[in-house]
Amino acid sequence: MDLFNTKKKSIIAMLSVCALAPILPAYTPLPVVPQIAEAASEQAKGIDYLVLVNKNHKLPDDYEANVPLVIAKNSMGREFQIERDTYAHFVELRDELLKQGIQIELDSIYRSVARQQEIVKEFTEKYGADYVRQYVAVPGYSEHHTGLAVDICLVVDGKVIDDNDEMIAQKEIFAKIHPLLAKHGFILRYMPGKENITGYSYEPWHFRYVGQEIAQEISSKGLTLEEYLNAKKSSADSLAIKDERATADYWVKKNQKGDTECLTQAEIVAANQEMRTKSVSLTDLEHYPKTVDGTVLKEMILDAQQDFREEAEPGEHYDKGGKLIRQADYDLDKDNCNLDKIPVRTDIRYGVITQRSDMRLLPTAKYYFDDASFQHYDDLQGTAIDPCEPVLVMHESRDRQFAFVVGRYYKGWVNRKDIGFADKSTWKKYVSPKNFLVVVDHKKKVHVNGSRDVLFQMGSIIPLKSSAARGSAYKAILPVSVNGRLSEVTVPIKKDDTVNPGYLPCTPNNFVRQSLKFRGDVYGWGGMEESVDCSAFVQDVYRSMGILLPRDADQQELAMNNSVSLAGLATADRYGKVGEAPVGALLFKPGHVMLYLGRDAQGTPLVIHSASSYFTFAGGKASKHYIRQVLVSDLSYQNGKGIKTIDGMTSIGSIARRNP
């Protein structure tokens, strides 16, 4: 509770917006029904459950409370605003404690900065500035601005206990409450003996929601939120190289022949064809048959379900609200594949993607998170597909909201509203455009029709009306869907270093320059959060030069034109093989791929990759660190079994045989 830094909450309670409930002669539980107070899309992303605010760390001026907020009532009828997931887990905690005969109630939750300013003004007028400095949190420095902080009171034998001293005296009760917090995603925010770190005295009633996995880690190590975040930052810093070696200039200066082509465009065309023979995930769209056998199509759709194909039950997966996916909903999602309506032979339709769209393993926009409190990994997310990408449309979902499509490098379900259906001749202009731009920045947004921005990732192709720029801009063609049919609009795209007319030359320096444009970007599982995971990262770098890799790391490893196996090699020999690899080579280990930059001045091989997590070890105990960013590192970081990356690598792959 950081509205008042005092042990005598009762002194000023009657003046507080969190006025204490009167002592009740008898306690009668009331139903607690959350109601949405602020509209928020189910697609909302990016709730920061770890946002830090304390006496020395102000919230950003543009900070907005985590949404969606809901209205919650305690059993005395008082209403509070609270972040939705925080409230859902509080209810679970409250109900579990009630079964043990312990009754907790909400006492103080969300306050806006504006309301805090009003309180400061009111109390200054009533008690003076000295009193306010001692007892009232400065606006912008309160955890209660987030909607993630929960102050409770106790109800014992029908009596509400909320005085600070009385609360602290309830040692036996809190000794039963605190061990259950982490299970429900909460931490004890202001711990005894940590006052010099948190800035507040011990408050056994003040809980903070951070999510279950992180709460368990913080609690098991006896950390404050400040200590956890500092340790996390230190761990991230210890992995990510941030000096000059993480810049393109450093490597370009080292590569004396770095701007000499490794492969000509003709050689790249041949390499792409060779990779299509090695990877089932790559498709030659232009020469695909006009029809597909029903049995083949059914197998294609089932294969696209990946791990869900053989799963009759949803397992432990959670929706955006943190609730377990119900069996009935899972059955509906699988049934929506509409397999029983596949004809003996299907005529293929032709479509073009009109905006960046998700390719799903099942035809649903519902999230399937494997962790209710860490919502960055949706197991139904296959990949993201860029605007202007041509697709073969094979089948429709039962609800007709999704289409099963085959793209150049992936198969899956796409929302129908993101597809413009076209005749084959028009469609072919997107398969093999005569004149086109290639997006060469890590991402680019193009404004369309004065109403929306269309997002492109590196390597995306944008057709042009002509090869020449008119003045300072190119005249680009962008697809739009009008009642499901493909239409086209012409938009100007500024002539700058974010786009290139045609593919970039395939050179060592371009592998370096292109890859380092992503440095610092968030890790985006399957294209989530408008970003890249490890395999999408290297795929985008390569396709900016016209090299069309498969989408997933395992398929990329299979498709490499030149591959060096590391099986059975000692660590020193592995480093030797890496040192012989060309700049831009791909280093593979199970579930991960990295792009080789070269050896630094000390002879250490360095890579750039989109990293999700890694492990450190202390006292024989493993700690997992979610770093979730594109970074430069060496090959010494460890997995959960304590195996260094260099020793866990399986092969080194490349398209170019050697550096120029």
Predicted confidence (pLDDT) per residue in 636-658, tens digit: 999 999 999 999 999 999 997 66
Contact 501, 433 (CB under 8 A): no
pLDDT of residue 600: 96
- Letter for the amino acid at 501? P
Tell me the two tokens of residue 496: 């700058």
Answer yes or no: 203 catalytic: yes
Asked if residue 190 belongs to a domain, the reply is yes
pLDDT of residue 466: 81
What is the secondary structure of 472-510 as a DSSP string? TEEEEEEEEEETTEEEEEEEEEE-STTEEESPPPB-HHH
**Any idea which of 30-34, 203-207, 414-418 has the lowest mean pLDDT?**
30-34
Residues 148 and 285 grouped into a single domain: no
Contact 482, 417 (CB under 8 A): no
**Any idea which of 39-48, 107-116, 380-389, 520-529 has the lowest mean pLDDT?**
39-48
Predicted confidence (pLDDT) per residue in 461-503, tens digit: 999 998 776 788 999 999 999 999 999 999 999 999 999 999 9
What is the secondary structure of 209-238 as a DSSP string? E--HHHHHHHHHHT--HHHHHHHHHHHHHH
pLDDT of residue 333: 98
What does the chain come to in residues?
Answer: 660
pLDDT of residue 622: 81
Between 232 and 631, residue with greater pLDDT: 631
Residue 283's closest CA among 458, 478, 457, 431?
431
Residue 86's closest CA among 160, 34, 124?
34
Q: Which domain holds residue 573?
A: 244-258+515-654
State the average pLDDT over residues 584-602: 97
Contact 136, 123 (CB under 8 A): yes
pLDDT of residue 358: 98
Residues 376 and 444 grouped into a single domain: yes
Residues 444 and 525 grouped into a single domain: no
Predicted confidence (pLDDT) per residue in 155-185, tens digit: 999 999 988 789 999 999 999 999 999 999 9
Predicted confidence (pLDDT) per residue in 500-522, tens digit: 999 999 999 999 999 999 999 99
Q: Inter-axis angle of helices 171-181 and 84-99, to 10 degrees?
A: 130
Residues 402 and 380 grouped into a single domain: yes
State the average pLDDT over residues 531-555: 98
Predicted confidence (pLDDT) per residue in 38-84, tens digit: 322 222 334 678 889 988 788 887 777 765 678 888 878 888 899 98
Residues 401 and 311 grouped into a single domain: yes
Residues 104 and 187 grouped into a single domain: yes
Query: How far from each other are the two terminal CA atoms of the chain, in whole angstroms?
Result: 64
pLDDT of residue 132: 66
Residues 498 and 541 grouped into a single domain: no
Could you count the other beta carbons within 10 Å of the beta carbon of residue 466? 10
Q: Residue 93 — pLDDT band, cuts 50, 70, 90?
A: very high
pLDDT of residue 66: 64
Residue 650's closest CA among 565, 526, 580?
565
Q: Does residue 536 register a pLDDT over 50? A: yes
Q: Residue 98 — pLDDT band, cuts 50, 70, 90?
A: very high
Tell me the two tokens of residue 490: 């012409």
pLDDT of residue 115: 84
**Any idea which of 7-16, 87-96, 444-453 has the lowest mean pLDDT?**
7-16
pLDDT of residue 459: 98
State the average pLDDT over residues 597-626: 89
Predicted confidence (pLDDT) per residue in 203-238, tens digit: 999 999 999 989 998 998 899 999 888 777 665 567
pLDDT of residue 77: 83
Our CA dihedral for 188, 191, 196, 198, rounded to 10 degrees, sits at 10
Asked if residue 33 belongs to a domain, the reply is no
Residues 550 and 594 grouped into a single domain: yes
Residues 199 and 248 grouped into a single domain: no
Asked if residue 177 belongs to a domain, the reply is yes
Q: Inter-axis angle of helices 212-221 and 225-239, to 10 degrees?
A: 100
Q: What percent of the chain has pLDDT over 90?
A: 70
Contact 596, 585 (CB under 8 A): yes
Residues 527 and 576 grouped into a single domain: yes
Asked if residue 27 belongs to a domain, the reply is no
Q: Residue 7 — pLDDT band, cuts 50, 70, 90?
A: very low
Report the domain count for the chain. Answer: 3
Q: Does residue 277 register a pLDDT over 90? A: yes
Residues 136 and 196 grouped into a single domain: yes
* Residue ranges of E strands in 64-129: 69-73, 79-83, 103-108
Which one of 471, 505, 539 terminates a domain?
505
pLDDT of residue 28: 35
Q: What percent of the chain has pLDDT over 70?
A: 89
pLDDT of residue 659: 65
Residues 476 and 534 grouped into a single domain: no
Strand partners, 117: none
Phi, psi for 43 (deg, rounded to 5): -85, 0
pLDDT of residue 229: 85
Which one of 455, 475, 505 terminates a domain?
505
Asked if residue 145 belongs to a domain, the reply is yes
Selecting among 143, 203, 217, 389, the annotated active-site residue is 203
State the average pLDDT over residues 439-459: 92
Any idea what the CATH number is for the domain that residue 75 is in? 3.30.1380.10
State the average pLDDT over residues 564-568: 98
pLDDT of residue 34: 34
Asked if residue 276 belongs to a domain, the reply is no
Prediction pTM value: 0.70
Could you count the other beta carbons within 10 Å of the beta carbon of residue 617? 11
pLDDT of residue 579: 95
Asked if residue 457 belongs to a domain, the reply is yes
Asked if residue 1 belongs to a domain, the reply is no
Any idea what the CATH number is for the domain that residue 632 is in? 3.90.1720.10
State the chain's mean pLDDT as an integer. 88
pLDDT of residue 18: 33
Phi, psi for 609 (deg, rounded to 5): -160, 160
**Any idea which of 204-213, 338-347, 411-420 has the lowest mean pLDDT?**
204-213
**Any idea which of 321-325, 549-553, 607-611 has the lowest mean pLDDT?**
321-325
DSSP code at position 138: P
